[in-house]
Structure 1
Amino acid sequence: MTDTTPTFEQDIIVIEQELVRLDRLARTLDSRFVLPGTSIRFGLDTIVGLIPGIGDTLMAAPSAWMIWRGHKMGVSKWHLARMAGNTGLDYVIGAIPIIGDIFDVGFKANLRNVAILREQLDVKNLAQRNVQAGWSQSS
């Protein structure tokens, strides 16, 4: 009979694959395009945010999904709150015509949130690896 319980290494691979997907989404939302003749990067969040009234609300959905995925991956409440703060700030200031669009170009809330996820999950995985190494050395 085979054991179908996922191993720690399989969990790390799944988390890393999810982080790659979330990073790809964040880059599409925040830095997919370059303003010609400059090094200024912007994404769909900036473009869709130009639509008065609904643009920023539409772009809040993928940002909220990233926070939910972080919750599902076991990120701490503190880090989820930081992510929610980034998303909330992006939403509130982004709703201000013109100023909000300029803010979107510079703030890049989704890339900040993926960095928080990566930082938190790397620390968590490192701690779990150290615990496992300690257990295997004492065996």
Structure 2
Amino acid sequence: MDQPDPLKAARPQPLGLDLPLGRDAAAVRRRIEAMEHVLERSFTIPGLGRPVGLDAVFGLIPVAGDAIAMAMGAWIVWEARNLGLPKWKLLRMAGNVAFDSAVGAVPVVGDVFDFMFRSNTKNLKIVKKHLDRHHPETRVIEQ
């Protein structure tokens, strides 16, 4: 009888995430969902009850923060490209990221905008709609 490896069981997963590394549609979907969660809904602002993520936090850092947030949003578009989304959907997703980055770069107004406009959530919806249609086996029923 196989016994579990005690070293493997004792190793905690970073941030409690066990993300798949595969290139299959289900693995890519889970990675995109995790990135969207980190960028848009990581924690809730006390008193407001509004979930925010690293996208809004990075937006508070002049220049470099907006570039980092844009790169992380672009990663979602890159993963969508690996799924085989049509070019028009990829352009729409890239437009969401570019619009968020351009307006987010404006001092003060951009910081408020980052709390309201969720480009990564919009891009996740585009990916989910595509996957639900072309790869229905990746669908997850949320309770």
> Counterpart of 1:95 in structure 2: which amino acid?
A
User: Which structure shows the higher helix fraction?
Assistant: 1
Q: Residues 32-53 of structure 1, C-alpha deviation per residue, up to 9 Å, x if partnerless? A: 1111022211111111111112
Does structure 1 residue 115 correspond to structure 2 residue 111? Answer: no
Task: Tell me the SS of whatever aligns to 2:135.
Answer: helix
| Aligned-partner Cα distance in 2 for 1:32–1:44 | 7
The match for 2:63 among 53, 56, 66 is 53
Structure 1 length-normalised TM: 0.77
Task: Tell me the SS of whatever aligns to 1:37.
Answer: coil
Residue in 2 that maps onto 1:91: 101
| Aligned-partner Cα distance in 2 for 1:21–1:54 | 24
Does structure 1 residue 28 correspond to structure 2 residue 66? Answer: no
User: In the alignment, is the contact (CA less than 8 A) between 1:75 and 1:121 conserved in 2?
Assistant: no
Count of residues in Structure 1 that have an aligned counterpart in Structure 2: 114
Structure 2: which 5+ residue stretches go unaligned?
A: 1-22, 137-143
| Aligned-partner Cα distance in 1 for 2:81–2:63 | 29
- Percent identity among equivalent residues? 36
Does structure 1 residue 73 correspond to structure 2 residue 83? Answer: yes
Q: Which has the higher mean CA deviation after the structures are superposed, 35-44 or 117-126?
A: 117-126
User: In the alignment, is the contact (CA less than 8 A) between 2:70 and 2:97 conserved in 1?
Assistant: yes
| Aligned-partner Cα distance in 1 for 2:89–2:105 | 24
The match for 1:44 among 37, 42, 54 is 54
- CA shift for structure 1 position 64: 1.0
Does structure 1 residue 102 correspond to structure 2 residue 112? Answer: yes
Residue in 1 that maps onto 2:92: 82
| Aligned-partner Cα distance in 2 for 1:21–1:33 | 18
| Aligned-partner Cα distance in 2 for 1:62–1:38 | 26
Question: Which one has the largest radius of gyration?
Answer: 1
Runs of 4+ in 1 over 3 A off after TM superposition: none
Q: Residues 58-117 of structure 1, C-alpha deviation per residue, up to 9 Å, x if partnerless? A: 111111111111111100111111101110110000001111111111111111111111
The structure whose RCO (Cα within 8 Å, separation 6+) is larger is: 1
Aligned-residue Cα RMSD (Å) equals: 1.5
> Counterpart of 2:132 in structure 1: which amino acid?
D
| Aligned-partner Cα distance in 2 for 1:114–1:23 | 7
Residue in 2 that maps onto 1:16: 26
